[in-house]
Every structure is written in structure tokens, then in C-alpha cells.
Amino acid sequence: MTSIPEALLWCLCAGTAAAVVLAAIVVRARMRSAELRQRLTAAEGQNTASLHSNTELTARLRATESEIRHLAAARLPDMTLALAHSHVPVRGLLDARFTGSDTDYALTAVLDQVGDAVTAERERVDAAAQSTLRGATTTIQALLYRLQTSLQQMQHRYDAPDIAQDLLAADFLNEQALRRIQATGVVCGAWPGLTREDSYLAELVVGAASRLRGYERVQVSNQLRDPIAVVARAVEPVAITVTELLANALHHSHHELPVVVTLQQGNRGASVIIDDYGVGMHPDELRHATELLSGDDQLLFTQLGDPPRTGFAAAGRLVRQYGYGVHVEPSPYGGVRAVVYIPGDPLLTILDESRQPMSVMAPLPHRSAAPDRSPSPLPSRVAPVAASAVTAPAAAAPAPSAPSSPDTPSDNAGEGELPRRRRRRAASELDQDVSRAEPAPARSPEENASRWAALQQGTESGRAAVQPQHPRGPEGNAHS
């Protein structure tokens, strides 16, 4: 009887122990399951963050690739075009989120480096082109000067009207070719090519107009108070500048309209004012012309167009080298007004008209008959002997008081300045001056050639009258 309860007790104890062990196993399994669940949740979070990070990285990489493609396809071409045309805008970043980032700085550095390389290469190529053109134009210019001298000698040698007309036409064509070559050479840095003597400003303007087709339309009005001349070293540069401005005025106005040139004298220099009645210039064209004529910026030959328009560029380079000024603006007549200002110091002087008379082709000055006139501040090139001859009689025998006139020396001469005595002219000469001051009607090239031939024939006839006869050639002129 006692063995059964013991057996039951042992069974109960064994069952209890098994239950405890089972409960422990269940608890441990639940804890392990919870731990595994937490690990799984953490792993899933990490995977989600990793996936999100990978997505952002992929999007940024694609945006950077798009910026690089945009740089190569749009921004670099814009930048190279803007180097030649400053008004062309250069596009910015494709994605604004890159603004101020390292990517933005890197792409900007690429633009700057490519721009510097393109600019350096353009300047190198342009300098090589200018050097080549400078050498070629210098040689051609020398040959054209020799041809001009030969044509002028032939004009003096042959007096037949037909031959004289052909020689004048050939000389005029040679002068136009010489002007184009000269302007191109000046733009490329060449020397103007001529050394002249001190020349009256009125003669210089008339000579500049004679280089152009349509010169008969140029009307020159001389308002100078003194016989002002341009110093030798600046004669040809000023002549080139006036020629190019006149060429622009003649080209952009109707062939029946005049081009008015006025010579004005100021307190510190003289001005050549050119007015045309043409179509005028657009504000952008005026601004571009002002930039070219200022001579401030370094100009590339490739920026002058195709074919190159070298007129204003040549004038601008001479302005920078010699120190005078050129200004263009809309003319009150509807066209364009160009003003060449020549400072008195050091580019102007005053010549003695009795020692170096002005050419008969130059317009006479419309000098005022006012009794008193302030002296010119320009330096005078009057010889000391002539000055003493003027002042000595006045000091020896003072004349009685009488109203002063332009033919007598002024008593208001500044300290250190020599007075000048104007040559007295007869009434017949004054009448001739009045008739010369009136604008002469335009003559045809045939009439000019006929007059020139008649002048040459008269000269040769006078020489033949006082010299022994020489055998004459087929053209009727004596051989020297």
C-alpha cells in the first residue's frame, strides 16, 4: 500500500520538474523570439536607411552628370561666343541646388580655365595674322608710293588731254588702293608710312578729301582765325583719320547730298567738324564706333568683321598713339557728326604765310574784320630774323594812333610771344579772295583733266620760249 503513494509522489515531483523545465524553455524561447524580432526590425530599418541613402546618392550622381553634360553642351559654347560678342549671355547651372557647392566651384573653375586658354590662343593667332599683314602691307604700300611717284612724273611729262585724263584716273585709283592698304597696316601696328612737313590744317583736310571717290561733294568751310598748321609728325595720322571719317560720311549719304566740313579754332586747339545728311547710325553702332575711335581697348583684327572694316579701328589706334581726339554723335542734319579735336600743344603750330604760302586749293579763312583780336595760344614757327624785321621799325618810328586792322601787328600779344604782321594786299587781291571764298561749282573729271593738260601745255610753252628747243617725242613734249 505504501509503494503506490510513493510512486504517485515521485510521479508528481517528476511532473512538476518537467513543467518547470518546460516553462523555462517556453520563456527562453519567447525571449529569443523577441530578440530575433528586434534584430529583424533593426535590420529592416537599416535596410530602409540604406535603400534611401542609395536612392539619394544615385539622384545626386545623375544630377552631377546632367550638370557636366550641360557644361559641355551649353555653357562652354556660350562662353566662347561671349568672348567674341560681349552681349551674349552665358547660361548658369541647370540645377539650382548646386549653387555654392563644391560642384559649382569646380564647374566654374573649368569655365575660367577654358576661357583663359581660348583668349590666349585667339590673341596668339591674331598677333600672328597682324604680323603677316603688317609685313605684306608695308611692302605693298612702298610699291604703291613708287607707282604714285611715277604717275605724277608722267603727268608732268605728257600734256595730251586724253593721256592726262587716263593718268589722273590711274593716279586716283592708286590713291584709293593706297588708302585701304595704309588703313589695314595701321590697324596691324604698322607706321603710317609718310613723313611730311608742317602743313596747314586747311590743306590737310582738302588733301584728305581728294583721296576719296565723291570728293566733289565735300564742302570745306575755313573758320580759323590764324594760319594754323599741324606739326610734321602728326600730319599723316590726322590726314588718315579725317579721310576715314569723310569716307564714312560719303558712303552713308546719298550721292547728291553734300558733306560739310568746318574748321574751327578754340583756345586750346583746333577742330575739324564733319556733318553729313545721310541715314545716321543706330545707338549700338554709335557706341561701337565710339569704342573703336577711343583706342582704349586692345582690338583683335578678327573682331572687325568679314571683310574687315578697318577705318574706325585705324583712326582709334592713331588717336591713342598721337594724342588727339575723335568724337561721333548724331548730326543736327539727321546724319552723323564727327569731330576731330587736335590739341594745340604739342600737335599744332602757326606758320608764316609770307614765307610758306597756303596752297590755292585750300579754302581761304573767313577771318573777322574786328579791330582787336586776342592772340592765339599756339606756338609760332616765325623765324627770328623775320620777327626782328617786323618789330624794329615799330620801335624806331612809332606810328600815329589809328584804328588797328588785321594787317597790322597786335599790341595785345602775350608775354614771350612774337607779334605777327599780316601782309598788306591790294584791293584786287581782296576781291580775288572774296571770289575764292565762294564755293566753286563741281567739275567733272574730264573737265579737270582738260584744265590740267592746258596748265601743263602752258608751262611747257613758257619753258620753251626761254630755253633752246629740244627734239620732241611723239607726245609733243621735250625729253629731259
Task: List Cα–Cα distances, 105 to 63, 70, 108, 111, 344, in angstroms.
Answer: 15, 15, 5, 10, 54
**DSSP for 365-418, written as a single string:** P-----S--PPP-S-B---HHHHHHHHHHHHHSPPPP----TTS--TTPPTT--
Which pairs count as long-range contacts for 69-72, CB under 8 Å and 24+ apart, including other chains?
70/94, 71/107, 71/110, 71/111
Nearest to 317 by CA among 333, 307, 335, 304: 304
Strand order in the sheet with 228-230: 199-200, 228-230, 348-350
Q: What's the structural domain count of the chain?
A: 3
Q: For position 324, what pLDDT does the model report?
A: 95
Cα atoms in the 13 Å half-sphere on the side-chain side of 220: 25
207 and 244 co-located in one domain? yes
Q: Where are the alpha helices (DSSP H) in 158-200?
A: 161-187
Residue 464 lies in a domain: no
Domain limit, last residue, from 366, 389, 412: 389
Residues 219 and 359 in one domain: yes
- The predicted pLDDT at position 374 comes to 45
Residue-by-residue DSSP string for 21-90: HHHHHHHHHHHHHHHHHHHHHHHHHHHHHHHHHHHHHHHHHHHHHHHHHHIIIIIHHHHHHHHH-TTS--
Does 438 reside within a domain? no
Query: Do 40 and 129 sit in the same domain of this protein?
Result: no
CA distances (Å), origin 97, targets 94, 103, 440: 9, 10, 75
Do 367 and 256 share a structural domain? yes
Instruction: Please say which residue of 34, 65, 99 terminates a domain.
Output: 99
- Spatial CA neighbour of 344 closest among 325, 366, 320: 325
Read off the C-alpha cell for 169: 584716273
**344: closest CA among 382, 381, 376, 384?**
376
Classify residue 402: in a domain, yes or no. no
Q: For residue 358, give the DSSP letter.
A: P
**Same-domain pairing of 246 and 359:** yes
DSSP state for residue 256 in the 8-state scheme? T
Is 154 part of any domain?
A: yes
CA distance readout (Å), 346 to 322, 350, 353, 378: 10, 12, 20, 9
Residue in this structure with the C-alpha cell 541613402, named with its chain if needed: 53
User: Cα–Cα distance between 151 and 161 in angstroms, integer?
Assistant: 15
The alpha carbon of 214 is separated from its chain's Cα centroid by a whole number of angstroms, namely: 24
CATH number of the structural domain spanning residue 266: 3.30.565.10
pLDDT tens digits for 432-446? 444 444 444 555 556
**Residue-number span of the structural domain to which 123 is assigned:** 100-193
Task: Report if pTM > 0.75.
Answer: no
- The predicted pLDDT at position 50 comes to 67
**Residue 199 gets which letter from DSSP?**
E
Q: Where are the beta strands (DSSP E) in 289-369?
A: 325-330, 336-343, 348-350
Grid cell for residue 367: 577771318
Q: Are residues 258 and 332 in the same domain?
A: yes
Q: Are residues 152 and 244 in the same domain?
A: no
Domain presence at residue 432: no
Angle in degrees, CA 287, 300, 133, rounded to 5: 130
Question: Is 356 in the same domain as 217?
Answer: yes
Q: Which stretches of the chain drop beneath a pLDDT of 50?
A: 1, 369-375, 381-440, 466-480
Are residues 258 and 270 part of one domain? yes
Judge whether 437 lies within some domain: no
Cα–Cα distance measured from residue 423 to residue 433, given in angstroms and rounded to the nearest whole number: 14
Given 64, 99, 134, the domain boundary residue is 99
The 8-class DSSP code of residue 359 comes to P
Q: Is residue 52 situated within a structural domain? A: yes
- Give dist(CA 278, CA 251) in Å, integer: 9
Residues 76 and 106 in one domain: no
Same domain? 175 vs 232: no
Distance CA 105, CA 442 (A): 68
What is the sign, positive or negative, of the torsion defined by CA atoms of 72, 73, 76, 77? Answer: positive
Residue 68 and residue 155 in one domain: no
Determine, yes or no, domain membership for 416.
no
Distance of alpha carbon 409 from alpha carbon 48, whole angstroms:
107
Say whether 257 sits in a helix, a strand or coil: coil
